[in-house]
Structure 1
Amino acid sequence: MKKKLSFLLVLVLALSTFLAACGGNESSDEGNSGESGKDKQVLNLIESSEIPSMDSALATDEVSFDTMNNVFEGLYRLDDNDKAVEGMVEGEPTISEDGKTWTFKIKDAKWSNGDPVTAHDFEYAWKRVLTPDTAAEYGYIMYDLKNAEKVHNGELPVDQLGVKAIDDKTLEVQLETKVPYFKELLTFATFYPRNEAFIKEQGDQYALEADTILYNGPFVLSEWKHEQSYQLKKNPDYWDKDVVKLEEINFNIVKDTATGVNLYETGKADIAGLSAEFVDQYKEDENFKTRPNTSVFFLRLNQENEVMANLDARKAIDMAWDKQGLVDVLLNNGSVPANYLVPGEFVSGPDGKDFRETNGDLGSYDVEKAKDHWEKAKKALGKDKIELELLNYDSENSRKVGEYLKEQLESSLEGLTLTISQQPFKQKLDLETKGQYDISFAGWGPDYPDPMTFIDMFITDGSHNQMGYSNPEYDKLVEQANTTLLDDLDARWQALLEAEKILFEDQAISPMYQEGIAYLEKPYVKDVYRHSFGAGKSYKWTYIENK
């Protein structure tokens, strides 16, 4: 999912994605009628940031993916059990005996300008992602397609990619090898179709405003006031429009928890995310809810920096701060300390055991060992004083986490000065992509139901590596798990387990916590589907229970 987160993919914090308040237009307050129900199918929510991108070839973050999931649709979308159900596809695909060729039929569906959605729209969109000039960070998620990696690297022409529109209604997809979760993978935003004529007409203005985008999903982006608010309205041309009950969804961009809670209390918000102090205040409220999540937050340790290139320095950074204290005191929302990358209760192996149960914890809080590693690092670097900068989100809760890390690390590691650079979400992602940081507070949510969605993030020169990490043995295990071992699932699982261990032997990152979410939700809000991978939320089936 994403820089979510991360889901990223980087992810915004839990409270950021679940805050709620009045919408961004005059009608956003209409229909409120107390706790028992509302008169209209209007949902009012809050996001913590501007939408970084509405171009499915370029987006990398949870806010973008969540929005796109509700205004676009690929061959499949996720249901309430995270199973792939029909989107633009009609019926079951035809699959070759070796599992490498899939043939899909495209249903009768329209773009918001009235054009039919065709197989050509998928062929064009997928080739556009992998055209080197597009510079799509998420291009690698398509590497299961035949020749995709070579096309993306410019080694083969794009017409050699394993996707072809046989006719308007028939899409043939060829894979490098069989993929057991291929339907679920196709729900991801990078695989959405695109209307070639419209994109060429818009030129460099494509996807920058609500009216420079075409939609084929349950809703359309009807209004986009950058850095302020945006609005979704029901798409009258959507093929399954009779299932869609909501007429309008309003998002305001608010970074402050107290503001969101106040709007909830005054009836102008339907959902409000809670930070630690509000959890204590509302935990007995009948509308208080918590839920676990599969997003993992961690510190990127940029090895392009001289200090972070030192293994002892990285180990010191990881061991020197108290993760349990972070989740207990600052978060207080069901998050749990993470000494790992792949989250718990996410996926199980061929033996039926959870990945996390098998690999266990791969680190620990140990100040004395941290001090030893730190002294070794300073000696090797020839430095008594070290200054590092933490790249941080600009939300309220992120600021508190940053301050906590600064206090913990500076008090444990003699001679360290940690400054904090808080940046708006979009700018933070840009700085991270460019590698312009020392340490970065980051997060990742899974894009599909397999450990690989976390593991392959850190291969050498990977588009989401972004921290100069490289280990040939790690790369080899990832490559084998993506190719030759797909016919031996037990061996593949072992390769993924071993790869995660190598990542922590190298202390490539300092994991922080696996996310939990605490929030208030009005009782009349029904069937918001919250997913464990891919886009975070679906509103196709959501409705307001009338009084």
Structure 2
Amino acid sequence: MKKLGRVAAVALSATMLAGCGGAGKKTDTSTFRFASELDIMGMDSSVVDDGMSFNALHAITEGLEGLDKNGKTVNAVAQSYKVSDDRKTYTFKLRKDAKWSNGDDVTANDFVYAWQRIIKNAGNYAYMYGSDGANILNADALIKKGTTATQAELDTLGVKAQDDKTLVVTLAAPVPFFLDLMTFPCYYPINQKFAEKAGKDYATKPEYLLSNGPFVMKKWTKGKSADFVKNDKYYDAKDVKLKNLHFDLAMKPQSASANFDSGRVDYATISSDLVDKYKGKDTYKSFNEGYLFYLEPNTKDPVMANKNIRKAISLAVNRKQLCSDVLKDGSKEAKGFVPAQLSQSPDGKDFRSIAGSFTKYDEKAAQEALNAGLAELGKSEVTVQLLYGTDESPMDSVAEYVQGNLAKLKGLKVEMSATTKQDRINNRMKNGNFQLAVTRWGPDYADPTTYLNLLSTGNSNNYGEWSNAQYDALMKQIQTETDASKRYDLMVQAEKIGMDDLADIPLFEKGGSALQATSVSGLVHKAVGVPYTFKFVTLK
């Protein structure tokens, strides 16, 4: 069930049949076997920023808020909460029966410690504590200090343990989606005593991890697999039907689908080239994956700094054909930087329908823009290096398609730069060592700012370093605007500035395809936040 304007979710379920996905029969109804092309990059909630790591963390950890079987935000470690009249102070009462897997109580200090820790360590999602996210009091100033912040300074962060089971969070300004944010991994608690004893080993192996969620990690081999068992100390253990959860990691879609057909896997994401083989079968599932794929230009590069060159690239891409003939997985051409079906305005209109379209395919206009850009640069030809990850399906197919489109323009040459996702982001893009990159963003929460923040000056994910003073001023207004209708109008204005200047070049909104055994029900997949919830999975 998907509800616009809040966390979008779909419960993937099916009726019972004897077989498990293919030829093999399901004999073990206590273990759910999940195959992914992605690896778990880490298990420290104050460090990781990738979807598969989020899946694993979500399996073993719960925050103040969690998700029900329909993907809606509900109380989790927080049994109840009160909000002040000005909506800037939240007082959470924690469950008395919330325990860590070593028997320790989950306390308010576990949240205080974890939230200070991500800022102190300058984690990738530290910015989500500031005005680009939860807008917690004093977070912006502390984020700027990062690793230089003293403990006394960290103690000024607007999160306090009133007692072991009472947590008070103070915001600098109201945040309408604050409770939805509390389901996200960067806000998860960490047991301070355990983490400090583990030191540098914390979260590197199962023995250096604690759980307060549905499962406990028992085995983890990077690049291969991870195994989890039911956590009997979990306060809601009665609702967890699985005894075991198994991940096959970094598995190519072709191998995953073969394992599914033979009954060795219960759920497997597949790539576009496999859609035709399985589409129409009762095990085939398609869904909105939530990711926006786009081209990010490095505006510090002399060529990509030219607006007409960026305009030419955008006009040259036939997005409709890319979706229908290459991806074939339900992906839709992107009309702007904020995807459709993410958020509704106060009067019930989708953001995309209000903001309109900023993309089109026009090869003639693309050539004209390129000619204008070349004249401005004083060149007859430019070469652009296109960066992409080969382990991020369908990045390679998208990059090849874009190259083919751009090759039709006279005066523009494209050099392909293939690498891994890890290298693309952490080495190349973070260090500004690129011209144009195929990248993507998945929404952390159901509000347009989860995308719009990426274009703000100084945002840690603004790798292209596009900067616009008018845009930044609008984003600051959005952070403090309490009138919902005015706030929405400001967001529409901000996106227009970014798209008119081609700060990034949207390509498509990703559709997803997967194979799910007919014996499986209760798997929750979301287009927003953590992709998968395993708590409610049952096998028949």
TM-score, with length taken from structure 2: 0.90
- For the residue of structure 2 that corresponds to 1:129, the secondary structure is helix
Question: Whole-Å Cα distance in 2 between the matches of residues 520 and 48 of structure 1?
Answer: 13
Partner of 1:317: 313
Partner of 1:504: 499
- For the residue of structure 1 that corresponds to 2:227, the secondary structure is strand
Partner of 1:211: 207
User: Does residue 96 of structure 1 match 2:79?
Assistant: no
Query: Alpha-carbon deviations, 1:304-339, whole Å to 9, x = none?
Result: 222111111111111112111111111101111112
Which stretch shifts more, 67-76 or 392-401?
392-401
Partner of 1:147: 138
Question: Whole-Å Cα distance in 2 between the matches of residues 292 and 136 of structure 1?
Answer: 28
Query: Alpha-carbon deviations, 1:143-170, whole Å to 9, x = none?
Result: 2111111121128911111110011111
Which stretch shifts more, 358-367 or 197-206?
197-206
Structure 1 residues 488, 44: CA separation in 2 closer, same or farther (over 3 Å shift)? Answer: same
Partner of 1:455: 452
Which stretch shifts more, 92-101 or 467-476?
92-101
Question: Whole-Å Cα distance in 2 between the matches of residues 307 and 232 of structure 1?
Answer: 49
1:36 Cα deviation after fit: 7.1
- For the residue of structure 1 that corresponds to 2:361, the secondary structure is coil
How many aligned residue pairs are there? 511
User: Does residue 410 of structure 1 match 2:407?
Assistant: yes
Partner of 1:70: 59
User: Does residue 266 of structure 1 match 2:262?
Assistant: yes
Matches within 5 A, 1:291-302: 291-302=287-298
Partner of 2:532: 537
Question: Whole-Å Cα distance in 1 between the matches of residues 223 and 25 of structure 2?
Answer: 32
Of the three residues 444, 447, 455, the one matched with 2:441 is 444
Partner of 2:93: 105
Query: Partner amino acid for 2:263?
Result: G
8 Å CA contact 2:137–2:172 kept in 1: the answer is yes
Partner of 2:299: 303
Query: Alpha-carbon deviations, 1:80-123, whole Å to 9, x = none?
Result: 43321121112x21222211111111112221222211001001
Question: Whole-Å Cα distance in 2 between the matches of residues 364 and 387 of structure 1?
Answer: 23
Question: Whole-Å Cα distance in 1 between the matches of residues 313 and 69 of structure 2?
Answer: 39
Which stretch shifts more, 32-41 or 465-474?
32-41
1:405 Cα deviation after fit: 1.5
Partner of 2:17: none
Partner of 1:477: 474
Partner of 2:512: 517
Which stretch shifts more, 197-206 or 392-401?
392-401
1:175 Cα deviation after fit: 1.0
- For the residue of structure 2 that corresponds to 1:157, the secondary structure is helix
Partner of 2:16: none
Matches within 5 A, 1:121-270: 121-131=110-120, 134-143=121-130, 144-154=135-145, 157-270=153-266
Question: Whole-Å Cα distance in 1 between the matches of residues 53 and 386 of structure 2?
Answer: 24
1:528 Cα deviation after fit: 0.5
Question: Whole-Å Cα distance in 1 between the matches of residues 51 and 444 of structure 2?
Answer: 10
Of the three residues 424, 431, 447, the one matched with 1:428 is 424
- For the residue of structure 1 that corresponds to 2:310, the secondary structure is helix
8 Å CA contact 2:21–2:283 kept in 1: the answer is no
8 Å CA contact 2:382–2:411 kept in 1: the answer is no
8 Å CA contact 1:350–1:490 kept in 2: the answer is yes
Question: Whole-Å Cα distance in 2 between the matches of residues 146 and 254 of structure 1?
Answer: 40
Q: Which segments of 5 or more consecutive residues in structure 2 lack a partner in the other structure?
A: 1-11, 13-19
8 Å CA contact 1:33–1:39 kept in 2: the answer is no
Question: Whole-Å Cα distance in 2 between the matches of residues 98 and 271 of structure 1?
Answer: 45
8 Å CA contact 1:38–1:544 kept in 2: the answer is no
- For the residue of structure 2 that corresponds to 1:383, the secondary structure is coil
Structure 1 residues 53, 437: CA separation in 2 closer, same or farther (over 3 Å shift)? Answer: farther
1:532 Cα deviation after fit: 2.7
Partner of 1:21: none
Structure 1 residues 32, 465: CA separation in 2 closer, same or farther (over 3 Å shift)? Answer: closer
Query: Partner amino acid for 1:471?
Result: N
Structure 1 residues 218, 517: CA separation in 2 closer, same or farther (over 3 Å shift)? Answer: same
Structure 1 residues 380, 280: CA separation in 2 closer, same or farther (over 3 Å shift)? Answer: same
Question: Whole-Å Cα distance in 1 between the matches of residues 205 and 380 of structure 2?
Answer: 51
Percent identity, please.
33
Which stretch shifts more, 516-525 or 278-287?
278-287
Question: Whole-Å Cα distance in 1 between the matches of residues 237 and 449 of structure 2?
Answer: 35
Question: Whole-Å Cα distance in 2 between the matches of residues 150 and 168 of structure 1?
Answer: 27
1:202 Cα deviation after fit: 1.8
